[in-house]
Structure 1
Amino acid sequence: MVYDACMKQMLSERVYTTIRDEILSGGFAPGAALKPQELAGAYGVSLAVVREALVRLVGDGLADRLTNRGFAVPTPSDQRWQDLAEARATFEPAVLRLSVQRGDLEWESRVRAAHHRLARTPAYEKGAWSIAHREFHRALLDGCGNAVMLETFDRLWVASELVRVWATDLAPPRDHAGEHRALEEAALAGEVDRAAELLAAHVSLTAAGLRG
């Protein structure tokens, strides 16, 4: 019984990760139906395993649960992305303020290291760049010392990653490297107001790209 439960959990995690990566990479187009029966057949797992994975993706904001119609990939036109950007542009600068005010030498070292890695990771290495990107933003905020705030950031980040992927294709080119460099410099210089303003603008530009 315990073995079966563990096996189901492992399969669900694998399917969840596979579908998540497919959505973020564009393997499933915006608005595409995520049909549990078809996915179960494609991945060679039970319907229960697929449904569990899809429910997790709904919780992450990477899938929609449709009334009497199963699941689907969200679409760029959804108002939620503007709401999400507004939430991040309000929440994250406030956390960054605390981080800059409370951050110690170890925090400064983490920010420098995370920015160095991000700056040295080519943008065309999408998977590696996405990881380095998240680690830099997380490092900026983790000087706040508030676990609840950092957990909230983690949840918002997962949902907003889909927005970033879409905006990359739809929005005009941006100087991401310059934006990140300015954030690092302002934060480590203790320029609380400037760092917060830069982060709010940085986050808002991503969602703005979806509006064309």
Structure 2
Amino acid sequence: MYASLRDALLHGEYAPQQALRPQELATRHGVSLAVAREALLRLVGEGLADRLPNRGFAVPATGAERWKQISEARATIEPMAMHLAVERGDLEWESRVRASFHRLAGTPMHDRDGDPHLSDAWSEAHRLFHRALLEGCGNDVLIAIFDRLWTDGELARRWAAALSSLGRDALAEHRAIEEAALARDADLATELLRHHVGWTAVALNHRANMEV
């Protein structure tokens, strides 16, 4: 049940703030109430659901303060790690960055034409590219923080990416970051990454305003 519900949340099958009732989900998926609650608690831990006092569980809101805080934290941590990676990264780091960008560029963003939601394959390639960029920093603590923030912000990225009307070219952004990093231009790479990371918060704010 956990995997099925997680997939449904990431693919937009539940609306923001929609209730996630354990008994209904248990019946739908043919599992016990205990299993349903355990799955929901795992999703809460990943930032894909909220646990509400005396009200059960629900899909997070697009305008939640959490997304702004995650974006702010990423815009602080990732450029720092990026700057260190450009300064410290070796030839193996360069190879990983090139390979991860090649995978990202060659992976379809969507499973079907006209589907606004990101494919799981592209989302994983996206994560690996961003992680590869930062791994050259040589600081395991920064990478662990990146991993946590990435997991916590996955739903927000999926929602933001569905706003194709904002006219964003994600591949061009990633290519520019890769080129700056491999050219060892630390200042440019960090500035491009900071702008890139901040886009999710901008897109969600736009969506939240549309829903008012």
- What is the match of residue 98 of structure 1? 84
Q: Secondary structure at the match of 1:144?
A: coil
What CA distance in whole angstroms lies between the structure 2 residues aligned with 1:149 and 1:19?
A: 30
Could you list the per-position Cα deviations for residues 51-83 of structure 1 after superposition, in whole angstroms to 9, with x for gaps in the alignment?
122112112111110111100000111121111
Which of 103, 117, 123 aligns to 1:130? It is 123
TM-score, length of structure 1 as denominator length: 0.89
Which of 148, 161, 164 aligns to 2:154? It is 161
2:104 is aligned with 1:118: yes
2:72 is aligned with 1:86: yes
What CA distance in whole angstroms lies between the structure 2 residues aligned with 1:76 and 1:42?
A: 26
Q: Secondary structure at the match of 1:177?
A: helix
Which of 183, 197, 201 aligns to 2:177? It is 183
TM-score, length of structure 2 as denominator length: 0.89
> Hey, which of these two has a bigger chunk of helix by percent?
1
What CA distance in whole angstroms lies between the structure 1 residues aligned with 2:88 and 2:194?
A: 20
The residue type equivalent to 1:36 in the other structure is: P
What CA distance in whole angstroms lies between the structure 2 residues aligned with 1:55 and 1:150?
A: 25
What CA distance in whole angstroms lies between the structure 1 residues aligned with 2:143 and 2:30?
A: 36
Q: Secondary structure at the match of 2:71?
A: helix
Query: Which structure 1 segments of 5+ residues have no match?
Result: 1-14
Give the superposition deviation at 1:16.
2.3
Q: Secondary structure at the match of 2:51?
A: strand
2:28 is aligned with 1:35: no
Give the superposition deviation at 1:145.
2.1
- What is the match of residue 63 of structure 2? 77
- What is the match of residue 202 of structure 1? 196
Give the superposition deviation at 1:129.
1.1
Could you list the per-position Cα deviations for residues 126-168 of structure 1 after superposition, in whole angstroms to 9, with x for gaps in the alignment?
1211111111111101112222221211111122121122112
The residue type equivalent to 2:106 in the other structure is: R
What CA distance in whole angstroms lies between the structure 2 residues aligned with 1:31 and 1:128?
A: 26
Query: Which structure 2 segments of 5+ residues have no match?
Result: 112-118, 207-212
The residue type equivalent to 1:21 in the other structure is: D
What CA distance in whole angstroms lies between the structure 2 residues aligned with 1:26 and 1:192?
A: 37
CA RMSD of aligned residues (A): 1.3
